Each structure stands twice: as C-alpha cells, then as structure tokens.
Amino acid sequence: MKILFLCTGNSARSQMAEGWARYLKGNTVEPYSAGIEAHGVNPYAIAVMKEVGVDISGRRSKLVAEVTDIEFDYVVTLCSHADENCPLFPGKVKVVHVGFGDPARATGSEGEVMATFRRVRDEIRVFVESLPNSLEV
C-alpha cells in the first residue's frame, strides 16, 4: 500500500509521519512525504525523531509535484492548508485528512519548542500505529 503524507512545507509533520511509517509499518506500507511547498527538513523534527531511534536526517523536503506520477492508494493530508490545496492524483487514490498542530510554529524556549515537537511526534506515532485500519473510513 502506497501512502503519501502531505503537509505545507514537508519539513516536520509529513517527514515524521513518513519516518514513523517506515519504522513501524515498513512491511505493510510504502510511505512517501511531500509538501505544497518545500521548506527543508526541520532540525527539531530530526532531533525528536532521533530521540526515539528513527533517523530522518537523510531525508529531503520535496514538492508534491515530484510525486504526482506515483499511483498512491492514499494521500493523508496532515494540515488544513494541504487539505485545501491537495492536487489531483491519478488513479483511484483516496484522500484522507488527519490534522496535527504545526510544531514549526512553536515559540518559547528551546525546551518549550522541543516539547511541542515531541508532542506532535507522539500524536503522529499513534496515528501511524493505527495504519492501515484508520484509513478505511
């Protein structure tokens, strides 16, 4: 099953979702990630994923246009901006929206920002653990 995780900048949420899917569901899911824009992989996302043994440091931020030729089974939009601007994909792809807060907008001390990234990381993990059943809506 091919799944695209789509968010605005492909910098945090979609990168973490792809990382979790590769780590937890690599035998049943072929995950991809992309963004409506490409902002580069957020260093906080890399750091909080590393804390749990998932290395996303070698990933790069991709535009959705780079993956539109892939026949996905599902496109999971992770923010309202991506949901509202999701392009059409070929084939019988099903688009599912599962929104998460944007950790890249976190403010405060380094510890507070890291706490926000950890919270979103853990929320995304719970969702990914439920795959593919949670997509059969």
For the question of residue 58 being annotated catalytic, the response is no
**Residue in 54, 64, 79, 93 annotated catalytic:** 79
Place of tokens 């580069």: 40
Q: Is 30 a catalytic residue?
A: no
Active-site annotation holder among 6, 7, 75, 104 = 7
Q: What share of the chain is helix, strand, coil (3-state, %, to 5)?
A: 40, 15, 45
Of residues 52, 63, 86, 95, which has the active-site annotation? 86
3-state secondary structure 81-113: HHHHCCCCCCCCCEEEECCCCCHHHCCCCHHHH
Residue 107 bears catalytic tag: no
Q: Which residues are catalytic?
A: 7, 79, 86
